[in-house]
Amino acid sequence: MTNTRGNLKPATITTVDNSVTINCMFNPENYTVVKKNSFNTEQKTVIPIKPEFKQYGRSTLTLSELHFDVYETGGDLTATTNKLWDLMSPTDAEDPNSSPPEVKFKWGSFQFTAVIESLTVKYTLFDKDGEPLRSVVTITFIQSDNPNTKPHQNPTSGGGPVQEVRKIISGDRLDLIAADVYGDATKWRLIAEYNHIHNPKALRPGQSITIPPLQ
């Protein structure tokens, strides 16, 4: 599996039958998991009572900035975004009321089994012929397995120290980042070598880099 430009493993959206896999070459800046249980809060007596439990809710996962980009690598961006739209379509082409496919979102140790509730694709860069080269996707998943099942996340599943992923903002420099995370600005070369950065002055806002642990 090809890594992202920041040398990160790509996030993936895969159907549970493994028939479709979409690699997210520009990983999300963050993700949000929300779970809501239902309670009856109507008070029928003067004496306050505890809310009456009704049912367990399913978790939702929202990715507000999932990036896709073929500007440097080439390829057909719409072929990828069309795969996303297909994941909201009926699984049975002859039955328009059939449910959409069940999918798994994976990024590192995090895994979420779900169906897609909503999808927004915003195209942000085009070539001279008007073909899209970059897009930002907002997507919301609804948990499809047991609502009492927690989203899988095991920080130590990689067999090594947990690594920090940092999004570059305007004004960032590797020596300043090293001073922040290690307390030693001279450790900037460790970050540069780990992320295959040959020109430390050429950091791009929005670029993701991995902060390796000190050995």
Give 99-122 pLDDT, tens digit per residue: 999 999 988 778 899 999 999 999
Nearest-CA neighbor of 84 among 118, 36, 112?
Answer: 118
SS3 54: strand
User: Which CATH code fits 11-143?
Assistant: 2.40.30
Please check the confidence at residue 41 and state whether its pLDDT lies above 60: yes
pTM: 0.64
Q: Identify the pLDDT of residue 155.
A: 43
Given a contact cutoff of 8 angstroms between Cβ atoms, the answer to whether 106 and 14 are in contact is yes
In 3D space, the residue among 80, 60, 61 whose CA is nearest the CA of residue 69 turns out to be: 80
pLDDT per residue as tens digits for the range 147-183: 777 766 544 444 444 456 777 888 888 988 888 888 8
Where in the chain are the domains? Answer: 11-143, 164-211
pLDDT given at position 165: 73
Residue 211, pLDDT score: 82
Under 8 Å CB-to-CB from 103, ≥6 apart: which residues? Answer: 13, 14, 15, 16, 87, 113, 114, 115, 116, 141
Beta bridge partners of 40: 52
Please check whether the two domains, 11-143 and 164-211, share a CATH topology: no
163 closest CA partner among 213, 198, 197, 118:
213
Q: If you classify domain 164-211 with CATH, what class do you get?
A: alpha beta
CA–CA dist 201, 207 (Å, integer): 13
Of the ranges 133-142, 146-155, 204-213, which one carries the lowest mean pLDDT score? Answer: 146-155
Decide: 191 and 197 in contact? Cβ < 8 Å: yes
Residue 4 has what pLDDT?
A: 52
Q: What is the largest CA-CA distance in the chain?
A: 71
